[in-house]
Amino acid sequence: MSDRSLRGMRLGAQSMETESGVEPAPRQRVEYRCADGEQVFVTFSSEAEIPAVWVSKTGKEALLVNGEKPDTSNEKAVRTHWDMLLERRSLPELEQILEDRLTILRERRGERRSA
C-alpha cells in the first residue's frame, strides 16, 4: 500500500485542476494621489463602485485622480463627554459637585479639612 501513496503532495492544499480555459473577472486599475504627490494604484472589479478617497499603505488619504472631491460639509463635529456634560451643567455647578464629593470621600477616610 505504501508504494501507491502520493509522496510530496499535500492533499487538499493544492488543486489538481488546470487553469486552461478559465477567464479572470474583468478588472480596472484606478489611480489615487495623496496631497504630497504619492501615487496609489488599486485594482477593482469593473463592476465595483469606485470610492472617491482611499487610505494608502502609509496612512495618508489619497483622492481619486480625475474624480470628484468628496463632500464633507454634512459631517457633524465630534462631541466629547466634556461637551455633553457642559450642555447639562455649568462650570460653577460642576465645581460645587466636585467639592461635595471630595468632602464625602474625606469624611469616609476620617480626614477633616480645616477651612
Give the start-to-end residue ranges of the domains of the chain. 27-64, 77-110
Q: Distance between CA atoms of 112 and 63, rounded to whole angstroms?
A: 62
**All cell numbers assigned to 91:** 462650570
**All cell numbers assigned to 6:** 502520493
pTM of the model: 0.47
pLDDT, residue 103, reads: 94
pLDDT, residue 23, reads: 87
- At residue 41, what are phi and psi to the nearest 5 degrees? -110, 130
The β-bridge partners of 31 are 41
pLDDT, residue 11, reads: 67
Can you say whether residue 102 is alpha, beta or left, with left for phi > 0 and alpha for psi between -120 and 50 degrees? Answer: alpha
Residue 70 confidence (pLDDT) above 80 = no
Share of the chain above pLDDT 70, in %: 81
Report domain 27-64's class: mainly beta
Q: Distance between CA atoms of 70 and 66, rounded to whole angstroms?
A: 12
